[in-house]
Structure 1
């Protein structure tokens, strides 16, 4: 529950009120901060892990538009996502990156990061045919075909 609330932007001060409402004696701001640091570390490890289960036969790229708290205000962001099917036929989330917009520059940086981590695509790339995705794939380079869905 603490992880979900943290990811949804509940402040450590409000977390104590929430856990009391659920019948838990209380939770200090430092306890919440410690848990958040552990989560941040796990997320960082996941986002920077080597992509060595390839070659990936299929890659799907898409973005979610979400609101996020940044600098004390709520702003619209794009969460860039890539999932792939590895050589053993298993689907896995390959990467996730928060960007200010779903632009060519954002997608290019995202695909460069995936490639630097070892992404090897040996098949079809599917997307919603966003111009930024198409341009980024063309710029970063891939032997794969780009399919529009």
Structure 2
């Protein structure tokens, strides 16, 4: 993520059905959309996990930071305000 700076990052999740042998289950896709300084949009990260639980968000955000996403003005979409606590 060295090529762009994202002053705004929107976090959201979408659920989809996935085949986890031997059944079909609902999985959460966690998505980070970065808005660049010139107004462009990029997706610095997406991951599919069991749910939107705090543990999965924390792991996802740590992964983004390890890949070079730096702090900026963080904007959160959906009902994820709990990510700002603790």
- Normalised by the length of structure 2, the TM-score is 0.86
Q: 5 Å matches for 1:2-13?
A: none
Cα RMSD over matched residues? 1.7
- Post-superposition offset of 1:131: 5.1
User: How many residues of Structure 1 are paired with residues of Structure 2 in the alignment?
Assistant: 86
Instruction: Find out whether 1:87 has 2:74 as its counterpart.
Output: no
Q: Higher relative contact order at CA 8 Å, sep ≥6: structure 1 or structure 2?
A: 2
Structure with greater Cα Rg:
1
Q: Which runs of 4+ in 1 moved over 6 A?
A: none
In the alignment, structure 1 segments of 5+ residues that lack a partner are 1-50, 139-149
Q: Residues 103, 131 of structure 1: CA spacing in aligned structure 2 closer, same or farther, 3 A cutoff? A: farther
Higher helix fraction: Structure 1 or Structure 2?
A: 1
Instruction: Deviation per CA, 1:30-86: give whole Å up to 9, x if none.
Output: xxxxxxxxxxxxxxxxxxxxx113321100000001110012210111000000012
- Could you list the runs of 5+ residues in structure 2 that have no partner in the other structure? none
1:83-115 CA deviation, whole Å, 9 max, x = no partner?
Answer: 001233211011110010110000000000000
Per the TM alignment, residue 133 of structure 1 is displaced from its structure 2 partner at its CA by 3.2
